[in-house]
Structure 1
Amino acid sequence: MNATVAGLTWRSLVGRRRAVLLVVLPVVLIGLSVLVRLVSGESPDNAADLLGSFSLGFLIPLLCLIAGTGAIGPEIDDGSIVYLMAKPLNRYGIAVSKWVVAFAVIVLFGVLPTLVAGFIMNGTADDIATGYAAGALLAGAAYVTVFLLLAVVTRNAVVIGLLYALVWEAAVGGYVPGARALSIQQWALTVTRAMIKTDEGDYGIGSAVALPTGVTLLAVVTVAGLAYTGYRLRSIRITGDE
């Protein structure tokens, strides 16, 4: 990891207009959790519904799209990455540095708000807050890797990422039986479900894969995707079509 690259990436992500979305989305989650608590009191079912649908199903993928593509996409688009590539820096080190910063953004603006929202709605009961936070953490690592890789291999990373997050993950991967097994969200839910401790059911938390399979797939996507990102950076073309 290169501290200089990480610092530049951090300033790029939190110092531009995209930072507004990074703040607004978790604020909306916290606001909704407060409203749910005021209306229905402490409710594990409502907590699981909101964290599953809004946080893991919408907030985390969208934040990862913003952070993952924003970590390197603008540099490729405006050609300024040529100055970075001209320096004697390991391409894998560049990829890891940008991934670490993007993932830190997800932890700060996605995972921690998920944990806080869970505590607001249900306290520490049944480990619902920590279960969904753990799921968000692992899903965030995989999502960021996918979107960072997309930003390197195509100039249409944002469009493709939106289609992936909204169509595949939210629609196809959430409801089509065969496709559910290929959904990052479903893999992360295996961790959430395993961490929740209750004798009153699973609060509707289901997953298409078993826990070992889900954790393994999340790890493979994260590690292999990051490695391939570094590989593609070695031969990236600054001008012309990818």
Structure 2
Amino acid sequence: MSTTSPPTTTAAPPPALFHPTVARLTYRALLGSRRALILFALPALLLVIAVAVRTLSGADDTTTKEILGGFALATLVPLLGVIAGTGAIGPEIDDGSVIYLLAKPVRRSTIVLTKLTVATGVTLVFSALPVLLAGFILNGNSQHLAVAYATAAAIASLAYAALFLLLGTITRHAVVIGLVYALVWETFFGNLVPGARTLSIQQWALALGARLAPDSAVTSDVTLPTAAILLIAVTTAATWYATHRLRSLTLAGDE
């Protein structure tokens, strides 16, 4: 007597979190346009300043903190985040070409996570690495300042990329709004107004980077647990809402 074995079912593979084709198109959009000139110019300016300061005044920890904290982390990193974050998706939405991407059988969450990965990688390469190199040029990593500020720049890169990627899905004026945020809030209020520092990505990143430096060498107005929670919350919320915006955009295009 023959027995019939029950049909076997194959579990569906988990959805991909990264799409190589989307990543390649995003890299090409960021590094093959006028944005690339700014991406290269800002780190080059930091390195030129570091070489000039070291040549003229020698190694000095105070000057190093002013340049790495006051210029690199407060101005350069958020500006690079604006360029990479908004440029990863904003132009496609502005010219309507995003509809062709959304018509492909790719999950909206995969598109957002892929573009976020690219934007973060670009911001990190053009900010954290030059900050590390500038720190070694300025004072040879005395008090671990180069490593601490480079780590803070790397951490901030993810939050900025997520925030400005979201901004690119919300408004056609993402670059302008992002520049106002980067130059007014992070650079001015984030450095000069004590109460505003608590809501500054720069300060959150500094709280984590400070763990790599001796006591009081690098300081932040935000405690480490609070900084970690806020960084995770902002990055997660921005990524989720950017995905939601893409889904809404798809529905609007199908109607």
TM-score between both structures, scaled by the size of structure 1: 0.93
Cα deviation for residue 57 of structure 1 reads 0.7
- Tell me if the contact between 1:79 and 1:239 (Cα under 8 Å) persists in the aligned partners: no
Partner Cα distance (2:67, 2:191) in 1:
15
Partner Cα distance (2:49, 2:209) in 1:
21
Partner Cα distance (2:153, 2:105) in 1:
35
AA at the equivalent of 2:36: A
Segments of 5+ residues of structure 1 without an aligned counterpart are: none
Name 1:41's counterpart in structure 2: 58
Name 2:164's counterpart in structure 1: 147
Partner Cα distance (2:130, 2:221) in 1:
26
Q: Which of 176, 182, 185 does residue 165 from structure 1 map onto?
A: 182
Mapped pair 1:227 → 2:240? yes
Cα deviation for residue 237 of structure 1 reads 6.1
Mapped pair 1:61 → 2:74? no
Segments of 5+ residues of structure 2 without an aligned counterpart are: 1-17
Identity %: 50
Deviations 1:43-84 (A, max 9, x none): 111111100011101110000100000000110010001100
Partner Cα distance (2:227, 2:139) in 1:
26
Partner Cα distance (2:126, 2:192) in 1:
27
Name 1:18's counterpart in structure 2: 35
Mapped pair 1:236 → 2:253? no
Cα deviation for residue 159 of structure 1 reads 1.3
Q: Which of 132, 142, 146 does residue 149 from structure 2 map onto?
A: 132
Deviations 1:91-121 (A, max 9, x none): 0000011011111111211110000000111
Partner Cα distance (1:122, 1:172) in 2:
28
AA at the equivalent of 1:27: A
Aligned residues: 236
Q: Which of 193, 204, 211 does residue 224 from structure 2 map onto?
A: 211
Partner Cα distance (2:24, 2:140) in 1:
36
AA at the equivalent of 2:242: T
Cα deviation for residue 239 of structure 1 reads 7.9
- Tell me if the contact between 2:102 and 2:250 (Cα under 8 Å) persists in the aligned partners: no
Partner Cα distance (1:69, 1:23) in 2:
17
Q: Superposition RMSD on alpha carbons, in Å?
A: 1.6
Partner Cα distance (2:179, 2:88) in 1:
16
Of residues 226-235 and 7-16 in structure 1, the stretch that sits farther from structure 2 once superposed is 226-235
- Tell me if the contact between 1:72 and 1:152 (Cα under 8 Å) persists in the aligned partners: yes
Of residues 15-24 and 159-168 in structure 1, the stretch that sits farther from structure 2 once superposed is 159-168
Name 1:32's counterpart in structure 2: 49
- Tell me if the contact between 2:133 and 2:146 (Cα under 8 Å) persists in the aligned partners: yes
Q: Cα–Cα, structure 1 residues 161 and 77, in superposed 2: closer, same or farther, change >3 Å?
A: same
- Tell me if the contact between 1:99 and 1:144 (Cα under 8 Å) persists in the aligned partners: yes
Matches within 5 A, 1:55-94: 55-94=72-111
- Tell me if the contact between 2:198 and 2:221 (Cα under 8 Å) persists in the aligned partners: yes
Mapped pair 1:2 → 2:19? yes
The structure 1 segments of at least 4 consecutive aligned residues displaced by more than 4 Å after TM superposition are 237-240
